[in-house]
Amino acid sequence: MAKRPIIWAPDPVLKTKCTPVAAVDDDIRALMDDMLATMYAAPGIGLAAPQIGVTRRVIVVDVSDKDEPANPICLANPEILWKAEETALHEEGCLSLPDLYADVERPVAVKVAYLDRDGAKQKIEAEGLLAVCLQHEIDHIDGVLFVDHLSPLKRNMIMKKMVKAKKNRAREEAA
Ligand code: GNR
Ligand code: NI
């Protein structure tokens, strides 16, 4: 399992609609393992393949508490089958928009079909933080960031901060 660099917005790879995986083979399993290593190291509660530069429909999540056993879930070709009509606001962050947070409105529960790490068809019904995280990650593989759910004013404020943060990082890396 190798940790990989996380791509920061703005970047075209984060705006890309990712392609489905044909089958969960050893290459996809290695990708899932690298994504989990990258997510746990960050640390984060989810990661989507485009965040490490791979435009395939693969996401990983683990919303377990620190004092609980780890509960990694690997999802290939996740598909939202059902969304609750009820919505709620939840504060979101993103490893591709480090240190920037905003309240995002989403359905409070979702049902998702996917292929697991063994390529078996699975369904998961989620509410609470897991529902938020799954929707955030599935957005990523459709080229959508949490800021795309905000008003243009809020989105532009956050993206301006990201342009500055990326310039600062480039300057630090060059120094
Ligand atoms: O680590 C993360 N935390 C988080 C908090 C609230 C809503 C969504 C998330 S996902 C984020 C990791 C990430 O960027 N996944 O794409
Ligand atoms: Ni994210």
| Residue bearing the CA closest to ligand 1, atom 13 | 94
Cα–Cα distance for residue pair 72/61, rounded to 1 Å: 6
Ligand 1 geometric centre to CA of 43 (Å)? 10
Cα–Cα distance for residue pair 163/161, rounded to 1 Å: 6
- Please give the pLDDT value at position 147: 98
Q: Which residues are CB-neighbours of 80 under 8 A, at least 6 positions away?
A: 110, 111, 112, 135, 138
57-99 pLDDT, tens digit per residue, is 999 999 999 999 999 999 999 999 999 999 999 999 999 999 9
Nearest-5° Cα angle at 126, 137 to 152: 40
- Among 129, 148, 149, 139, which Cα is nearest to 47's? 139
| Residue bearing the CA closest to ligand 1, atom 11 | 94
Ligand 2 geometric centre to CA of 75 (Å)? 15
18-61 pLDDT, tens digit per residue, is 999 999 999 999 999 999 999 999 999 999 999 999 999 999 99
All structural domains of the chain, each given as residue ranges with its CATH number in brackets, are 12-174 (3.90.45.10)
Q: What is the largest CA-CA distance in the chain?
A: 51
User: What pTM did the predictor assign?
Assistant: 0.98
- Please give the pLDDT value at position 1: 80
Amino acid at 120: A
- Please give the pLDDT value at position 122: 98
Ligand 2 geometric centre to CA of 27 (Å)? 23
- Please give the pLDDT value at position 83: 98
Q: Is any ligand 1 atom within 6 A of the Cβ of residue 47?
A: yes
User: Average model confidence (pLDDT) for the chain?
Assistant: 98
Question: Across residues 5-26, what is the average pLDDT?
Answer: 98
Amino acid at 104: V
